[in-house]
Structure 1
Amino acid sequence: MSKAKAGHKQENHAEHPPKSSITSKSALSAAFLVLNQIGTRALTFAVNQVLLRYLSPKIYGVAMQLELFSVSILYFSRESLRVALQRHQGDDELEKTEQVDGESPKEDAKQVAVSYGPTRRLQEVVNLSHIAIGLGLPLTILFSWLYLRSADSAVLETSLLHSSLYIYALATLLELCIEPAFAVAKQQMLDGTRVWAEFRASFIKCFITCVTAVWASRTGRDVGVLPFAMGQLSYAIVINLVYNWNIIPICNRSGASLLPQTIASNSTYIMSRFSRPFITIAATFYGQAIFNQILTSGDSYLIAALATLPAQGAYALATNYGGLLARMLFQPIEEASRSLFGRLPTKDSPPKRSADKNPVRQAVIHLTTILHFYSLLSLFAISLGPSLSPLLLRTLAGSRWTVTEAPAVLAAYCYIIPLLAANGILEAFVSAVATPTQIRSQSIWKVAQLCAFAGTSYVALRVAAMGAPGLVVANAVTMVSRIAWSWGFVQGYLGTFGGNAGGLKVWEMMPSVGSLAVGVGGAVVPEVPLQDGSDIRLGELMQCGVVVGACGIGVLFFEREFLLSTIPNAAIDRFPILQHVTRTRKDGDEKKQQ
């Protein structure tokens, strides 16, 4: 090994501490992302409560259409690339040789971006992330044209709609410009940088949106959805500034660049910059992303096409509240879990070296623990959600929203939270370990799922005239079929690679009998009656608090063994009360064995 390489490795070792187990890394990453989601969603939630007092359901419905416009462009531009880039080898496998294309590295070889594994790998992902920016521009133009062409006349009559749409388009393109820096942060596991960037940008977005809306209302100006557009633009500007401020120095120290650079001139790279294997897998994921987006946001597309603007606003409000748990907790856990699952062996790759002796066994434990935890959260959602949702909606959004379809949609949404939870983590496993052939097989299955969703939606909306709640039913039908396929895939994978790890066992994920009894008891509690008038009385809130508190204490008691087993050792060492509880539990186990 040359002195240059030795010095390079020593520098990296000094900057980055020795690796812990991938399970611990995944848990830490998930904790960062969960805290980020809680913080940003809390900000958004607080601002929405202010905006709902100033906006009508019609304006809120148009705002949700523009949000869907932006999210669709971002998803189709970057999602498949992000998933593909997470399927990377460990850094220990990237330390190849000092040669590039069979030649020794030259000190002043400006055309070769890097010579050593980690830096070369970093430049590869930066180069690939620029594809998202390239895809974003034509997609933005296409989606803008389609939106203006297909929008209802009531939407086009909204004040400053065209200006707001163009601002959203600009903000979307600016947000795509962070992809190179995001890729570096992801590869270097700089979750703190990502958390601070997104939190600061979200804070500015909420502040600008709220101030603009209140100012327009106080001055009597009809600005339509312009406050939302200005907030989105401020978010894109701030997140670019924060990401680049933190990532550019890291790239300078690593010898990489946030601009596309030449890596090597051989058949492995397209235009000497883009890794052909990664483009292949990203293209496979891109084809599937179309179905994923339609299946995930198909309800939003259908409600935008078939429902009136007030109904769209009511549906968007209800699903935002109902999906709060999924966005704050499920999504970051799934994203962090992909890093763990992505290191598992597949049919196309040999087992990768890992600090964990049996990574498949660790993955089984990880999946079982998460699904058990999800089942407890789902117990509360199903037993208490439907009866408490009308009171929740009136408390948060005001009485004028209770006369819309929002209460019925929110109550129905509570029943699909378990499906959202299970589907998300199982598909995270599939996307991390499936081969391109298996992904294509899943895509074929998703075509059938898409047809089922469209058919169920038509029956629910046109034949049964169920209105917005019918879309929740259609979502549930589709979700069940997705879970069935993913469950079969996971069990098949564990049967092939699991060895002694075994497969997933349903009974290990289910709540205890005592917890189920608590859930049944909470479900039979009659709905808290709302008094006439727009204000919520203290007595009503206290009744809800008593019911929720009693159920929470009951579940904590019956699930104490499981919950204690999930607490990290570092937390137990830090808090004396946890040490006492853990010691008492161990003493009890020893007495039982004796």
Structure 2
Amino acid sequence: MTTKTESRGATGTIYLITIQIVSRGLTFFGNQALLRYVSPSHLGLAVQLEALSISVLYTARESLRVALQRVSSGAAATKSSQAAVNAAYLVVLLGMLLGTVLSSFYLYPAGSDLLDLPGFKPAFWLYGIATVLELLAEPCFVIIQQHALFKDRARAETTAAITRCIAACSAAIYMSRQQMVMSVLPFAVGQFGYGLSLFVVYAWSASRVASSDHFSLLPKQLQDESNAALALFSKPLLKVARAFYIQSIFKWLLTQGDTLVLSYFADLQSQGIFALASNYGGLASRLLFQPVEESSRNVFGRLLSTSNAPSTKTLRSAPKSPELVQKCNQALHYLSTILHSYTLFIVIPCFTLLPQIFPILISTLLGSKSQWNSTQTAQLLSAYSYYIPFLAINGILDAFVTSVATEAELGWQSVMMIGVTGLYLSVAALFMDAMKLGAVGLVYANIINMVLRIIFSLWFIQGWTQENIPSTPGKTRPSAFRQSCGKSLPSYACLFNSGLIAIGLQAQGYVKVALADNATVAELSRLKFGRLNLDLFDLSYLFSAAVVLISTILLTESEFLIRTVEPLLPKRVKSRLEPYLKDQEKKEQ
């Protein structure tokens, strides 16, 4: 059955997924309303300003957040609360410095065409103030994260998302009714509301923890001055954060590489269309992958990190006691379970159904006559559906690697990411400019980038398992890494049937062309329901494929599905399933 650590990880994951569903869902519907008022150029400019804000926040705070996740929870985390708060103020200072520098680099080459756009200057300052507010909330955030207060985090981010949605839509409606020239200003007003709400709610939640645990939310001298820089900052914590910092810069380049390349090779309208496509295509990644990765880092950190030396090797220098080997096996089992779930519910649907569903989705949500509804948008969404699985797999593998890697190995990973970043930007420029693939070429470059990172992570995990999980002498059983890879994949029957479904859906277009002269097929393809243009010939194929796919997964992966949902089931149901699961365990042994 599930361990206590995995149960806590599952609980944290559920809360984080809830946060993302509410906040991103509200953002999604808010943007849907805004699209009725703004043009692709307005959205393109909003993407640039948001990318500037994200760049400051990510490069300033990501390394400290990852470093803190390597510290064990519980009493050790409580004792280090003041050290975490003090270190967070370095993030505030660094973020303000980065914001000044990056804003100057953004504004200096900007021509009058950009600076003279209606609403640009107030929008720029509102985004800047919102960024400062999020930086000031960081000392409170690290306390909430360190004490695993997922309910408080859900409250803060949900409130902020609601505020952003209401503020942005209200600003757009007001400008429209006052017959003002529409601009990027509604997005900026929404971002300001988000930053202000986040700061207020985080501060309120963290102040209660600080009062009960007797530490300060302001910088305060540490008790162990011998192990602190300037008597304020924990040296071990800063050492780990420094090791992650260079890596965070290259992750930022990979994360924001799309915006950088697009801003150089495309105009604002093309950037807006790509932003729309990536928002639809990346909705699942923001709703599901991000909270799973954050929760998994916490689980891996609790299982595999030492409690007293977060900046040293994790388990490499420790003797291979049965308890430590068991923890390594638990971490590997947790990883393989997530990868297996990803394969069933993300990889297979994204390679079969999603490329066909996205064009229909755009026509349904935006309307056939919308200025956003174009062939370019549909092509981008279809291409993005192939990118989503690689994004998911890389995210969870990277969470494992950053949780167990030593400082030297993190350095090697940073060197690898330098090469990957350079290759990614070069391939993106080649696809977009030389091969004239446009924004679709940027998606293909992202896929290549993720494949290279996945290969590196698998190579690292293989070496890690060989060192930490010794093979049993005298037996020819496969290694722990090979067993984990086997458990990560669904059954051959499931993969085979999924392949047939994918081939059938790809052949659908050729069948439709061959039957183009058939009157019934032509009538079904032109059928309309109100404002919706629905091609019932295509929908019948999709519905049939979806039914076959779901049936295949339920029949071939029933045991895995039961094990996965078992922690969420009532006790009565668990007791009835227990004999079945024990029989399956005996068969596996």
Range class of TM-score, shorter chain: 0.7 to 0.9
Indicate conservation of the 8 Å contact 1:61/1:310, yes or no.
yes
Alignment correspondent of 1:63:
46
TM-score using structure 1 length? 0.86
Indicate conservation of the 8 Å contact 2:44/2:269, yes or no.
yes
Question: Structure 1 CA distance, aligned partners of 2:232 and 2:545?
Answer: 60
Which of residues 353, 358, 363 is equivalent to 1:384? 353
The within-5 A match list for 1:352-431 is 358-376=326-344, 377-399=346-368, 400-403=371-374, 405-431=376-402
Alignment correspondent of 2:210:
251
1:330 aligns with 2:289: yes
Indicate conservation of the 8 Å contact 1:37/1:327, yes or no.
yes
Indicate conservation of the 8 Å contact 1:209/1:227, yes or no.
yes
Indicate conservation of the 8 Å contact 1:30/1:332, yes or no.
yes
Alignment correspondent of 2:140:
181
The within-5 A match list for 1:338-353 is 338-343=297-302, 344=304, 346=314, 350=318
- For residues 397 and 349 of structure 1, do their structure 2 counterparts lie closer, same or farther at Cα, with a shift above 3 Å needed? farther
Question: Structure 1 CA distance, aligned partners of 2:107 and 2:320?
Answer: 50
The Cα shift of 1:184 comes to 1.0
The Cα shift of 1:579 comes to 6.1
Alignment correspondent of 2:515:
none
1:136 aligns with 2:105: no
SS at match of 1:566: helix
Question: Structure 2 CA distance, aligned partners of 1:592 and 1:237?
Answer: 56
Q: Which moved more, 1:464-473 or 1:356-365?
A: 356-365
Question: Structure 2 CA distance, aligned partners of 1:50 and 1:355?
Answer: 55
Q: Which amino acid in structure 2 is aligned with residue 522 of structure 1? A: I
- Please give the per-residue CA displacement for 1:199-245, whole angstroms capped at 9, x wherever unaligned: 11101111111121122223321241111111111111111111122
Question: Structure 2 CA distance, aligned partners of 1:330 and 1:78?
Answer: 20
Q: Which amino acid in structure 2 is aligned with residue 405 of structure 1? A: Q
Question: Structure 2 CA distance, aligned partners of 1:40 and 1:513?
Answer: 38
CA RMSD of superposed structures (Å): 2.7
Question: Structure 1 CA distance, aligned partners of 2:467 and 2:235?
Answer: 28
The Cα shift of 1:446 comes to 1.0
Alignment correspondent of 1:535:
531
Alignment correspondent of 1:471:
442
Question: Structure 1 CA distance, aligned partners of 2:383 and 2:586?
Answer: 47
Alignment correspondent of 2:521:
none
SS at match of 1:499: coil
The Cα shift of 1:587 comes to 9.3
The Cα shift of 1:340 comes to 1.6
- For residues 592 and 295 of structure 1, do their structure 2 counterparts lie closer, same or farther at Cα, with a shift above 3 Å needed? closer
The Cα shift of 1:274 comes to 0.1
Question: Structure 2 CA distance, aligned partners of 1:545 and 1:225?
Answer: 40
The Cα shift of 1:393 comes to 1.4
Indicate conservation of the 8 Å contact 1:22/1:356, yes or no.
no
The Cα shift of 1:158 comes to 2.6
- Please give the per-residue CA displacement for 1:463-516, whole angstroms capped at 9, x wherever unaligned: 111100000111111111111111111111111112358115433222223322
Q: Mind listing any 5+ residue stretches in structure 2 that lack a counterpart?
A: 306-313, 472-478, 513-523
Alignment correspondent of 1:77:
60
- For residues 205 and 508 of structure 1, do their structure 2 counterparts lie closer, same or farther at Cα, with a shift above 3 Å needed? same
Question: Structure 2 CA distance, aligned partners of 1:50 and 1:569?
Answer: 38
Question: Structure 2 CA distance, aligned partners of 1:122 and 1:352?
Answer: 31
Question: Structure 2 CA distance, aligned partners of 1:322 and 1:152?
Answer: 32
The Cα shift of 1:402 comes to 2.8
Number of matched pairs: 547
Question: Structure 1 CA distance, aligned partners of 2:166 and 2:149?
Answer: 26
Indicate conservation of the 8 Å contact 2:320/2:468, yes or no.
no
Question: Structure 2 CA distance, aligned partners of 1:87 and 1:591?
Answer: 36
The Cα shift of 1:546 comes to 4.9
Question: Structure 2 CA distance, aligned partners of 1:535 and 1:141?
Answer: 48
Question: Structure 2 CA distance, aligned partners of 1:579 and 1:553?
Answer: 26
Indicate conservation of the 8 Å contact 1:22/1:354, yes or no.
no
The Cα shift of 1:187 comes to 1.5
Question: Structure 2 CA distance, aligned partners of 1:352 and 1:255?
Answer: 38
Question: Structure 1 CA distance, aligned partners of 2:470 and 2:582?
Answer: 33
Question: Structure 1 CA distance, aligned partners of 2:37 and 2:401?
Answer: 44
Percent pairwise identity? 36
Which of residues 494, 499, 503 is equivalent to 1:520? 499
Alignment correspondent of 1:298:
257
Indicate conservation of the 8 Å contact 2:78/2:147, yes or no.
no
Which of residues 20, 23, 48 is equivalent to 1:40? 23
Alignment correspondent of 1:101:
none
Q: Mind listing any 5+ residue stretches in structure 1 that lack a counterpart?
A: 1-19, 95-117
Question: Structure 2 CA distance, aligned partners of 1:393 and 1:311?
Answer: 17
- Please give the per-residue CA displacement for 1:319-378, whole angstroms capped at 9, x wherever unaligned: 111111111111111111111212315256648999998211111111101011111111
Question: Structure 1 CA distance, aligned partners of 2:456 and 2:539?
Answer: 43
Question: Structure 1 CA distance, aligned partners of 2:386 and 2:82?
Answer: 45
Alignment correspondent of 1:561:
559
Which of residues 404, 422, 429 is equivalent to 1:433? 404
SS at match of 1:263: coil
Alignment correspondent of 1:204:
163
Q: Which amino acid in structure 1 is aligned with residue 41 of structure 2? A: K
The Cα shift of 1:437 comes to 0.8
- Please give the per-residue CA displacement for 1:407-428, whole angstroms capped at 9, x wherever unaligned: 1111111112221111101111
Alignment correspondent of 2:475:
none
Q: Which amino acid in structure 1 is aligned with residue 431 of structure 2? A: A
Q: Which moved more, 1:527-536 or 1:556-565?
A: 527-536
Alignment correspondent of 2:4:
21
